[in-house]
A = this chain, B = another copy of it.
Amino acid sequence: MKENYFVKDTSLASRGEIQIKWVSKWMPVLDGLYHKFKGTGIFKNKKVALCIHLEAKTAYLALIIKKLGAEVWVTSSNPLSTKDEVAAALAKRGVHVYARHAASHDEYLSYIDTILKNKMDVAVDDGGDICEYLHENPKYGKNIKGICEETTTGVIRLKELEKKGKLRYSAIAVNDAKSKHLFDNRYGTGQSTWTAITQLTNMNIAGKCVVVIGYGWVGRGVAARAHGLGANVVVTEIDPWKALEATMDGYRVMPIKDASPLGDFFVTTTGESNVLRIEHMKKMKNGAFLSNAGHFDYEIDILKLKKYAKKCEVVRNEIEEYTMPEGKHIYVLARGGIINIAGGLGHPADIMDMSFSVQLGCLHFFLSSRNMEPKLYKVPEEIDRLVTYEKLRAERIVIDR
């Protein structure tokens, strides 16, 4: 077989290796599952596709799957988050990686096509693009035993397909595992959002007013860590129970329009589009910082801001300064992309360890199952339980009675 990969520059491999090696030290749960699965031979010669943010932690998942005997085919679910050096390192290790930082949408689709025409057995999807492509090109999907979906968004797309009776493949809502959303979405995003913001801005958070938009799992984490840094936290939330919880957690709760003049830092966490709008920005203080910790880059209405502002200038790495007609400045971090990945290192390695272990468990589950119907499954309880027990073991936490 010739070179079955496409990366920007293989000479970057050694730099990628250093990063992968580092995170591999902090992913003992994945190692634990590797040891459980290596005797089963289940992955032997199977073809596994991964379409997720391509950085060091993902790479380690890919290598573990390869070590279990599978052929691994990888692309990135978001070209902007692709690390070329990590892609290079994977290529060098014999993973079929097709990815390039800042690839165009057409390139991206060509990568997916290249991978899927090789007839995968199982796939990890992040947002639903693999799934969609397989529905549009059913000939590519005839070996597929299942798709493991990482995100809320992808799960929503799967549910719609299922409801319309159009779902042709078995799928698992990995995001909904307790081992994932209770930890990754809350503690992982909470911490890494603030590391990114403080590293990008060099600003003091203590005593600042932080407005957290949304009080779901991500919003709770972001609010808790802002509070832990000494911020005065304001929450906006339209769900009545969550709004009342936020109040009793000690935060002020109010509509965005009332919070707009108060905030020094705004963080969106809703998953919905255009929650922070131009009418809010007009009311903000000079010097307000806007950032997004939700999955998509559409929570802040940057298009309207660009039109409204007199000037937009990059004043520091991942900080754009918008000069408003009335003279004040507003700063947008990481262009409204997900702040902890686009402006930082992503989730901590030891948190992703759990999320990716659920993925590995679900891949194993599909490969060892027979005759599963084309429907959306929950993560099997025993996998969810296994992952958290392994984590407890790794952290030396004993919970016997």
Contact = CB atoms under 8 A, between A and B. Distances in A.
Interface of A: 18-19, 21-23, 25-26, 178-179, 182-183, 187-188, 190-192, 194-195, 198-199, 202-207, 224-225, 227-233, 236-241, 243-245, 247-256, 258, 287, 315-316, 319, 329, 344-351, 385, 388-389, 391-392, 395, 397-401
B25 A248 contact: no
Contact of A232 (B205, B252, B350, B400): B252
A357 to B, nearest CB: 13
A23 B202 contact: yes
A253 B397 contact: yes
A363 B82 CA distance: 50
Contacts of A250: 206-207, 227, 230-233
Given A187-B207, A187-B248, A254-B397, 11 more contacts: A179-B241, A182-B244, A191-B204, A202-B346, A204-B350, A207-B247, A224-B230, A230-B248, A240-B392, A254-B398, A255-B401
Given A179-B241, A198-B195, A315-B18, A230 B399 contact: no
Contact of A398 (B22, B255, B348): B255
Contact of A392 (B22, B187, B229, B244): B244
A247 B397 contact: yes
A238 to B, nearest CB: 5
Contacts of A345: 199, 202
A-B pairs, 9 with minimum CB distance: A228-B228, A204-B348, A206-B248, A207-B248, A207-B247, A240-B388, A195-B198, A187-B206, A243-B399
A35 to B, nearest CB: 18
6 contacts: A18-B315, A187-B248, A195-B198, A203-B350, A233-B250, A253-B399
Given A207-B250, A315-B22, A348-B202, A391 B244 contact: yes
A395 B247 contact: yes
A190 B192 CA distance: 17
Contacts of A25: 287, 329
Contacts of A349: 202-204
Q: Determine which residue in A190, A192, A251, A397 has the highest number of CB atoms from chain B within 10 A of its CB, and name it.
A: A397
A320 to B, nearest CB: 12
A187 B399 contact: no
A329 to B, nearest CB: 8
A255 B396 CA distance: 12
A401 B204 contact: no
A316 B207 CA distance: 33
A255 B400 CA distance: 6
B241 A388 contact: yes
Contacts of A346: 202
B22 A183 contact: no
A399 B203 contact: no
Contacts of A254: 397-398
Contacts of A237: 399
Contacts of A315: 18, 21-22
Nearest to A348: B204
A21 B316 CA distance: 9
Contact of A228 (B207, B225, B236, B243): B225
A62 to B, nearest CB: 18
A205 to B, nearest CB: 6
B204 A187 contact: yes
